[in-house]
A and B are shown apart, each in its own frame.
Chain A
Amino acid sequence: MEKVLTRNIGIEDSWTLRVYRSRGGYKALEQALDTEPDALIDAVKASGLRGRGGAGFPTGVKWSFMPKQPTPERPNYLICNADESEPGTFKDRLIIEQDPHQLVEGCLVAAWAIRASKVFIYIRGEYVHGARRLEQAVAEAREANLCGRNILGKGFDCDVVVHRGAGAYICGEETALMDSLEGGRGNPRLKPPFPAQAGLYGHPTTINNVETLSCVPLIVERGAEWFASIGTDERNTGPKLYCLSGHVKRPGVYEAPIGIPLLELIEEFGGGMLRDDRPLKAVIPGGSSVPVLTAEECRDLPMDFDSLAKRGTMLGSAGVMVMDSSTDMVQVMERIAHFYAHESCGQCTPCREGTGWLEKIIRRIRSGRGSLDDLATLESAAGHMRGTTICPLADAAAMPCQSFLAKFRHEFEHYIKTGRAAVTAG
């Protein structure tokens, strides 16, 4: 397939305005500013674009919740979520570092569509290089009157602010991100109100992922129909970035039409399993938060929102983590549990207490001091974390645990019975 999202990557100085423009950059913005905002929203709806940040919410629908007549006292805001902290996920980074103008242009088009007067790009603190690239890109754009006052002489005022986070996974959750952006502690907020009613500084806000926004200029330029023609069906459309990691020969970020079969992704892009004597054992297809798949379940599996949902997991952030037969699944689960225990903001009782409890039980099992009733406790504690909290982090911690237990129970039992892992890494 023709590369579109990553068309500029690999070209010398791809991150500069000069190169971006020489390759047709910012034409979409010019075109968009001549289009009615609502027509743009309709186009994005028609394109079938769904959020690339994790939940897969239809982007055009999300935009349509925004007030149509913002006032200077109650402006609309756009936030670009560049916090990218989900384990196994590193696709936004590629765009941010190598093609920042694509993102800036996407932000500005989206801002026009939702009538936002300011864009905040919230980038994770560890992306120092990326933040510099973004800041540089925004400065270049401002210099070229692509951002700021009276953009391209078309009467649209909109500035872009790059803000660096301070290293908390939870600040990728949209409302925690807003708290953090406002200068507070990043705690997810109760909903309602939803961000489109009262978001950043209490004003109507739309928040989108980096990749989501980067798709927008493509839709403007090439048309919704073109976008919708890529993918599995009308609910799963467009080009997609996949983060391939783990036991493959060539880990990396790969662009493919949404719905590419998982095994094809591993074989064609990843160059196959790392070692030929170690066959595929399991895949976490969408970042550490989603249920794991067994090798068997990976067969004939289109990597799109609905196909993965049907198989009981999620596309999530498209962080595809491939594990071969040498993988100790209990160890993997311990690492995942540790991550969520460490990153829980701590507000909600089930999450604050549950994430730590899961980790402690699994660690005890791995140390050879587990018993079979621990597995029932794990299952029930994880179950009680589902749907009972303010934000989905508790679910994100519970879902892998439930799936690991269901699918690799024998490995847990092996630890309990023998005090050792069921596999030995050779």
Chain B
Amino acid sequence: MPTFRIDDREITCPDGWTVLQAALAEGIEIPHYCYHPGLPIAGNCRICLVEVEKFPKPAIACNTVATEGMVVHTRSDKVREWREAVMEFLLINHPLDCPICDQAGECKLQEFSYRYGAPTTRFKEEKEHGPKARQLGPHVVFDWERCIKCTRCIRFCEEVSGTGELGMFLRGVREEIGTFPGRPLDNPYSGNVVDLCPVGALTLREFRFRSRVWFLQNVPSVCPGCARGCSIDIGEFRNQVYRITPRENHAVNRWWICDTGRLWGERLSAARGARLDGPRAPGDGGDDPWATALAEAARRLGEASRTGRVAVLASPRASVEETWLLARLAKGVLGGAPVHLARHEHGEDDDLLIRADRAPNARGAQAVLEAVCGTPRSVEDLERSLAAGEIDVLFALGPGLVGPVDDEPPVVAPEAVSRAADVIVVDAFASPLSAAATILLPAAAWGETSGTYVNFAGRVQWAERALVPPVDCRPVSMLLGDLLAHLSLEPSPPSPEAVTERVAAEVPGFENIRWQDLLASDGQNMAGVRAEEHACRATGALVRMLEAERRASPASAGD
């Protein structure tokens, strides 16, 4: 644990830390472009040059290990001059496309130029020119002129996605990022290079030119794509998802998300036609179709509960709160009707983020159901009961609560479903199940409600509502609350937050969970869970090992 000085501050940091790491941890800004905590050190941008006493030359803070007694200056006249010089070098050939550049507003070149650069330029020559929109892969577009050659994108593909599609070609000022013949930048994590790019050189094809970033409201949420439940920000503007970006969370996804999650907004808007809108129930809907549908659903559920020929299907795509209300319904109103929990497993886990379980809350749903109405049964079990003709009414939270499901097999075999006289479905996007519904209660989809999700490793996170649902769709918690009220068991809960408080009081594992703490945070573990162990694979294990090794070895001379 060396103790050393940065400017007028005495700092103690762990062994092997660099000056930059220690400074950032202390809240001291040292500008940097190529350094990223999730990538191996490249040391090429040179903007983090600092003055270290007794060093013969300027030192890059990102590759200078802090040692006992070291004295570092980050604000001396010399450092100011070096930074201004590096800024000048970075900008001489830079196009300054800011007015049409997607990065503007969150651009490190703009920020550091404003803070550390000179106000005028001495460059009188013609700038270097190059391709402005080269498609590197299905989602990523490259602008040669804006690139500052920091190699973050290359290092990501080498060390994190492990796919190595990107390389540096040519030399000197003509250097360019590119792909190899026949191997486009096409991997499940390709979009991360866009976030990593400190400038507007890499843009997401789906977001290019769609909105200035300062119009976007970044709403903290949880990705519904799989059981990882990556922390994300939903970039919302005028009730539309413009983009989704990862929110740094070391217990879950570090700095990354997969392309499926990143493009969830596009997935939702492409499936507008599959959106369930407007309740559906037998007979004349009358003036108020919602009231009719809810009353009808309540009536049939009430009847069925007396015969006992009713089953409930829960969904790992529903939030903890929604599942809790469903469990209350099954237990309190339906006389302990059997509850089955759907599963959405496709393919395999990969070694970074993506989980075979394509639902964000299987672990949360399981815990809630277990606590309220015992271990949930399987879908196969449900299919057997249906096939055996034991079920008159099936009450189901559908598979489409978080998005379209047209690329998935039916969650319950349609032949089995057809054996029930009444199928009451709560869902947001169409599926064979909603098609078979006798009563359909269209729900708000993911992003349109707030709620808690528990990832596969027991990490509890809060997703904040980012969008207003379509007029004829209602949040699942509101809808289930209304049904509960209809069946006059308990008053409808005022909000998901109120349900979260009930869950914390009643469900083991959630004792310490408060939605206020979860909001915009990196979440909390369920009691008894150490989710850190399940955090996504640390990046470039080999590289970091080598780096640790070289830090440990004494710096000897050479030339």
Contacts and interface: CB of A to CB of B under 8 A. Distances in A.
Q: Do A and B originate from a single complex?
A: yes
Interface of A: 51, 55, 57, 61-62, 65, 168, 170, 185, 187, 190-198, 202, 341-350, 352-357, 360-361, 364, 373-374, 377, 380-381, 384, 387-390
Contact of A192 (B90, B92, B128, B555): B555
A377 B124 CA distance: 10
Contacts of A356: 93, 128, 172-173
Interface stretch (B45-53, B444-452, B482-490): B45-53
Given A168-B171, A343-B171, A350 B93 contact: no
Contacts, number: 131
B18 to A, nearest CB: 12
B93 A353 contact: yes
Contacts of B82: 384, 388
Contact of A349 (B58, B124, B148, B174): B148
A380 to B, nearest CB: 8
Contacts of B122: 373, 377
A373 B37 CA distance: 41
B92 A195 contact: no
A191 B36 CA distance: 19
A15 B529 CA distance: 73
6 contacts: A198-B549, A198-B550, A350-B85, A380-B85, A387-B57, A388-B85
B556 A197 contact: yes
A197 B172 contact: no
B90 A349 contact: yes
A5 to B, nearest CB: 22
Given A352-B173, A387-B57, A195 B558 contact: yes
A269 B420 CA distance: 107
Q: Which of A168, A342, A352 has the most CB of B within 10 A?
A: A352
B76 to A, nearest CB: 15
Contacts of B58: 387-388
Given A65-B558, A194-B558, A388-B58, A349 B172 contact: no
Contacts of A55: 559
A273 to B, nearest CB: 35
Contacts of A170: 171
A192 B168 contact: no
Interface of B: 41-47, 49, 56-58, 63, 81-82, 85-86, 88-90, 92-93, 122-126, 128, 148-149, 151, 167-168, 170-175, 546, 549-550, 553, 555-559
B47 A349 contact: yes
Nearest to A206: B558
A356 B125 CA distance: 10
A277 to B, nearest CB: 39
A352 B172 CA distance: 5
B546 A202 contact: yes
A187 B553 CA distance: 23
A388 B86 CA distance: 9
Contacts of A344: 171-173
A197 B553 contact: yes
Contact of B89 (A61, A350, A361): A350
A198 B44 CA distance: 20
A388 B46 contact: yes
What does DSSP make chain B's interface, helix, strand, loop or mixed?
Answer: loop
Nearest to A194: B558
A329 to B, nearest CB: 21
A350 B556 contact: no
Nearest to B94: A353
A57 B558 contact: yes
A354 B89 contact: yes
B123 A185 contact: no
Given A196-B558, A360-B125, A377-B122, A389 B171 contact: no
Q: Which of B46, B49, B550 has the most CB of A within 10 A?
A: B46
B22 to A, nearest CB: 18
A34 B245 CA distance: 67
B46 A345 contact: no
**7 tightest A-B CB contacts, nearest first:** A384-B85, A57-B559, A346-B175, A194-B558, A353-B89, A387-B57, A193-B550
A198 B553 CA distance: 10
Contact of B125 (A361, A389, A390): A361
Contact of B46 (A194, A341, A348, A381): A348
B186 to A, nearest CB: 22
Contacts of A387: 56-58
Nearest to A189: B43
Contacts of A195: 558
Nearest to A394: B46
Contacts of A361: 124-125
Nearest to B57: A387
A51 B89 CA distance: 33
A197 B44 CA distance: 21
A147 B148 CA distance: 47
Nearest to B168: A185
Nearest to A57: B559
Q: Which of B49, B82, B557 has the most CB of A within 10 A?
A: B557
A350 B46 contact: yes
Nearest to A195: B558
Given A353-B90, A388-B86, A346 B558 contact: no
B558 A198 contact: no
B558 A389 contact: no
A345 B171 contact: yes
A352 B149 CA distance: 10
Contact of B92 (A190, A353, A373, A374): A353
A374 B63 CA distance: 34
A341 B57 CA distance: 23
Contacts of A373: 122
B43 A384 contact: no
A360 B149 CA distance: 21
Contact of B44 (A168, A185, A347, A357): A347
A195 B558 CA distance: 8
A275 B162 CA distance: 63
Contact of A185 (B43, B167, B550): B167
A6 B518 CA distance: 78
A194 B89 CA distance: 28
B44 A348 contact: yes
Nearest to A193: B550
A202 B546 CA distance: 9
B556 A349 contact: no
B555 to A, nearest CB: 5
A175 B256 CA distance: 32
Contacts of A198: 546, 549-550, 553
Contacts of A193: 550, 553
A343 B85 contact: no
Contacts of A345: 171-172
A51 B558 CA distance: 11
B106 to A, nearest CB: 21
Nearest to B148: A349
A357 B173 CA distance: 10
Contacts of B151: 347
Given A346-B172, A388-B85, 16 more contacts: A62-B559, A190-B41, A192-B550, A193-B550, A202-B546, A349-B47, A349-B89, A350-B89, A353-B89, A353-B93, A354-B89, A373-B122, A384-B88, A387-B56, A388-B57, A388-B86
Nearest to B43: A190
B557 A65 contact: yes
Contacts of B42: 190, 347
Nearest to B47: A349
Contacts of B128: 356
Nearest to A61: B557
A349 B172 CA distance: 10
A345 B149 CA distance: 11
B341 to A, nearest CB: 50
A355 B172 contact: yes
A373 B122 CA distance: 9
A170 B175 CA distance: 14
A374 B56 CA distance: 29
A274 B432 CA distance: 93
A384 B81 CA distance: 9
